[in-house]
Amino acid sequence: MNESTNPDVVVVGAGLGGLYQLYALRQAGLTARVIEAGDGVGGTWYWNKYPGARCDVESMFYSYSFSPELEQEWEWSEKFPTQPELLKYINHVADRFDLRRDITLNTRVTSAHWDVPSGKWRVTTDTGEVIEAGFVVMATGCLSMPKEFELPGQNGFKGQIYHTGRWPEEGVDFTGQRVGLIGTGSSGIQSIPVIADQALEMTVFQRTPSFTMPAGNRPLDDAQVKELKGRYRELREAQRNSSFGNPFVSDPTKSAFDVSDDERLATYRDGWNSGSLVAILSSYTDVLTDKKANETAAGFIRSKIAEMVRDPEIAETLTPRSYPYGSKRPCLDTGYYDTFNKDHVRLVDLRKTPLVEITESGIRTSEDEYEVDAIVLATGYDAMTGALNAIDIRGRSGVALREKWSNGPVSYLGLAVSEFPNLFTLTGPSSPSVLTNMILAIEQHVDWIVDCLQYMRSNGYREIESTEDAETKWAMHVAEVGNATLFPDADSWYMGANVPGKPRVFMAYVGGANVYRQKCDEVVANDYEGFSFRR
């Protein structure tokens, strides 16, 4: 076990980002220590053990591309990987590349302070350890800090309350129980059908319905896997050249109104049947930018909900109407709408009857009390900035990052922040991150960071910092591109709108992961334009 208190780099988090970061640093001859709060590696896939947890990006492409050997030897069993399969893969990676010896588990980083005289970060953990390092990489994840659930009375509830993102290791058996579940984002949509299969009664408390499409999950067949494995290099390149990181979905070239109604409908039908999260979103150039174009896609999905849910009133409650399609994270599901055709499943519309409190024996809305034995909170995360702001990060002037970001995150390329030298935020706010394939985004950032560190080493630089000017211009660009889309129209976690009091700012870069990659490469080609270095 590495107990160095003086590595070149401290990496915070041992999820998919932290693990590849460690691997790449070692390859470059740098020493690193990874500090991880969990009792195991895996990040999102370690914590999210709720029933039905599954990635909605295809397994063959929600996987690392850095090692062709790993790509060839690992066998995915299904089109969309389950959480246990992903966790197994991640653990395999940790073993295969001998990563564990530099990872400290069960330890949370509480602060990171830049020490001006030594030109180093002083990183403190909740075990009292202080580590000094030249660089810090925050691999803390975009959706890792559960949102505080603000309902009164929780402590008095007699049964158990579970958060989907902090699920017990040993699992939960809901057999014979009356379960109340709050939240119908991706976690709710994946877990509701599975919990409903087990529970005696299931009551779903919905504030905003999601747009969700059938995943069409299935076992992968050998011939197909062989074919895809044979084309991995070409397909990885296709991923890198697409906005969403999907090798089979190319960026659109036509408006939704450049084609006939019949052709558009056929395209949406194909998208619906493809089981691809982004197929309908990327059918036309204006689905995410023009309300009328968006309405053609949204209307199509609404018509599918009406076909699948037998009771028209329940179908209407499940139908999203208050925001454009895609402006809140769309979902893929397995049997979601059909679950509401079952007699033991109830849907409570919180728009009509808001939550009031948790009582001893259940959940009270403005109209009724629902007795339940267990409560599942699928209420989401303080996304993008939550995990970073939870750490007391202080830069050159002693100002905390969370103070600097009190009006929303400002960061150059989503990678670096002025006044915070030698700090990198992996898939940080203002980068494409959650709007593309996360592993692709991670690999791009890690490779960029490691190239930068090598550049610094060969030029004798000890410090790198983004300039305020570059950071401001990038923030303006991110906002401009975001404002040209329909994203600001929704109260989403992309906008920080799910957390009371959080500034309303669009926190991702929606210009496309491919365009973003080019911009990052241009910065390097122009001698790290927008950064200053010190020897």
Binding site for ligand NA7 (CB under 6 A): 143, 150, 164, 182-188, 207-208, 329, 350, 355, 378-381, 434, 493, 498
Least distance to ligand NA7 from the beta carbon of 213, Å? 14
Burial label, 410 (beta-carbon count in 10 A; 0-12, 13-18, 19+): buried
Question: CB atoms < 10 A from the CB of 459, how many?
Answer: 11
* 464 touches 527 (CB < 8 A): no
Distance of alpha carbon 232 from alpha carbon 230, whole angstroms? 6
Question: CB atoms < 10 A from the CB of 468, how many?
Answer: 14
Least distance to ligand NA7 from the beta carbon of 276, Å? 15
Q: Which residue is nearest to ligand NA7 (CB)?
A: 185
Distance of alpha carbon 168 from alpha carbon 290, whole angstroms? 43
Question: CB atoms < 10 A from the CB of 130, how many?
Answer: 11
Of the pair 381, 424, the CB lying nearest ligand NA7 is at: 381
**What is the DSSP code string of 466-514?**
E-HHHHHHHHHHHHHHHHTSSGGGS--TTTTTTSTT------S--S-HH
Least distance to ligand NA7 from the beta carbon of 227, Å? 29
Of the pair 93, 434, the CB lying nearest ligand NA7 is at: 434
Least distance to ligand NA7 from the beta carbon of 208, Å? 3
Q: Check residue 360 and report its DSSP letter.
A: S
Of the pair 103, 332, the CB lying nearest ligand NA7 is at: 332
Least distance to ligand NA7 from the beta carbon of 153, Å? 13
Distance of alpha carbon 516 from alpha carbon 292, whole angstroms? 27
Rounded alpha-carbon distances, angstroms, from residue 433 to 23, 63, 436 = 20, 15, 6
* 422 touches 463 (CB < 8 A): yes
Of the pair 56, 102, the CB lying nearest ligand NA7 is at: 56
Least distance to ligand NA7 from the beta carbon of 48, Å? 8
Q: Which residue has the tokens 């999260």?
A: 277
Record the tokens describing residue 168, joined without a space. 């017990």
Of the pair 59, 208, the CB lying nearest ligand NA7 is at: 208
Distance of alpha carbon 283 from alpha carbon 243, whole angstroms? 13
Of the pair 154, 250, the CB lying nearest ligand NA7 is at: 154
Q: Which residue has the tokens 């049997």?
A: 335
Q: Check residue 189 and report its DSSP letter.
A: H
Least distance to ligand NA7 from the beta carbon of 143, Å? 5
Least distance to ligand NA7 from the beta carbon of 289, Å? 21
* 6 touches 132 (CB < 8 A): yes
Of the pair 445, 502, the CB lying nearest ligand NA7 is at: 502
Record the tokens describing residue 9, joined without a space. 């780099």
Q: Check residue 82 and report its DSSP letter.
A: B
Least distance to ligand NA7 from the beta carbon of 478, Å? 19
Distance of alpha carbon 368 from alpha carbon 348, whole angstroms? 10
Who's near 242: CB < 8 A, 6+ residues apart? 249, 250, 251, 512, 513, 514
Nearest partner of 185 among 333, 81, 324, judged by Cα: 333
Of the pair 208, 422, the CB lying nearest ligand NA7 is at: 208
Q: Between vectors from CA 353 to CA 352 and to CA 355, what angle results, nearest 5°? A: 135
Of the pair 277, 417, the CB lying nearest ligand NA7 is at: 277
Least distance to ligand NA7 from the beta carbon of 501, Å? 13
Of the pair 28, 350, the CB lying nearest ligand NA7 is at: 350
Of the pair 117, 500, the CB lying nearest ligand NA7 is at: 500
Distance of alpha carbon 491 from alpha carbon 498, whole angstroms? 7
Least distance to ligand NA7 from the beta carbon of 356, Å? 11
Q: Check residue 132 and report its DSSP letter.
A: E
Of the pair 74, 205, the CB lying nearest ligand NA7 is at: 205
Least distance to ligand NA7 from the beta carbon of 349, Å? 11
